[in-house]
Amino acid sequence: MESPHAIPNIIFILFIWFAFIIYVQAQSQTTVTKKKPSALFVFGDSTVDPGNNNYIRTPMKSNFPPYGRDFINHIPTGRFSNGRLVTDFIASYIGVKDTVPAYLDPTLTIQDLMTGVSFASAGSGFDPLTATLSSAIKLEQQLEYFKEYKSKMEMFIGKEGIADLINKSVFMLSAGTNDYIVNYYGLGESVTGVLYPNVTSYNNFLLQNIEQFIKELANEGARKIAMVGLPPMGCVPGEITLNGDVSRRKCVESMCSVATEYNVLLENKLKGMQISGVKLYYADIYKPILDMIQFGQSKLGFDDVSTGCCGSGYIEAAVLCNMNSPVCDDASKYVFWDSVHPTEKAYQYIFTTLRPIVDMVLNDN
């Protein structure tokens, strides 16, 4: 006669067996979603510049305290934040390295170069005039540095080796904010405003430059290119101070509308471009930054969403945020580090929202 405990025992064994199968499948899927690329290469402005501006003559520097206060060993590397950038979190997540170094750093080893570098320069943009206004490295020059990089690496790993490395790498481009804040509506307004009398014409000009840059990058072997859109520019503390409601620290809606229009055009441009063998991706940072500003105090653990941690929080950036500036005790409670750039915690939150895009990039064949 069958034991009354037999059936429950069988059910328990089947439960354990199915749980094991589900676990194995989940582990297998996790492995698939994190295919490791050979390297990460970055182009753009201060949002992704880890210190290239340290090695050129420009006022756009941040290689001094209190910048880097929460970075590894509290070193001010030239990153415009208190700690790591989005690209550092991405590099760590995809398994190529802990942080992305600046290409112009003369102390880089071959291994540093092998796994990717950033060519970005704080103050740069898609309009060549933008970089000129800040004495930054133009996007065209950043591309020339990439070509120089390839020539250097070819000496060590050969022509086929560098071609294979580039083919299996991920490329990221983050710029555009300076084109509007510094150039079109700022220092370059007298020149750019005459050439492009309305923002729509300027948008089209920038998109043409972006398309040309992507094509040239593809000609150099890039196969996976992620393009970052604009943030809600009107919510940047410095922009609020100069053009917004200072007493209530409300975003400048007109500037946010410009960013929204540009992002739609950029996303459509990327969808419409057809380059054989090349995958293009749009990375949205507008929504996560706006979410931090709108819901940061109630849901995300931020105490201050409209001023920077460094200085008064209203206007200081670069040399205006320095050792003599008052600095908040805990930058993790702030969305912005200075009047323009996010804190490490904010960058980390942005990364978490971009992670599905990163996984898509890694899995695309």
With a CB cutoff of 8 Å and minimum separation 6, the contacts of 364 are: 224, 279
CA dist., res. 156 & res. 37, Å (int)? 19
Contact assessment for residue 243 and residue 255, using Cβ atoms and an 8 Å cutoff? yes
Q: Is 114 left (phi over 0), alpha (psi -120 to 50) or beta?
A: alpha
> By C-alpha distance, which of 298, 283, 296, 279 is closest to 354?
283
**Residues designated catalytic:** 46, 338, 341
For 269, other C-beta atoms within 10 Å of its C-beta total: 18
Q: For residues 233 and 252, what is the distance between their CA atoms, to the nearest angstrom? A: 8
Q: Residue with structure tokens 């020339």? A: 144
Between vectors from CA 77 to CA 110 and to CA 327, what angle results, nearest 5°?
165
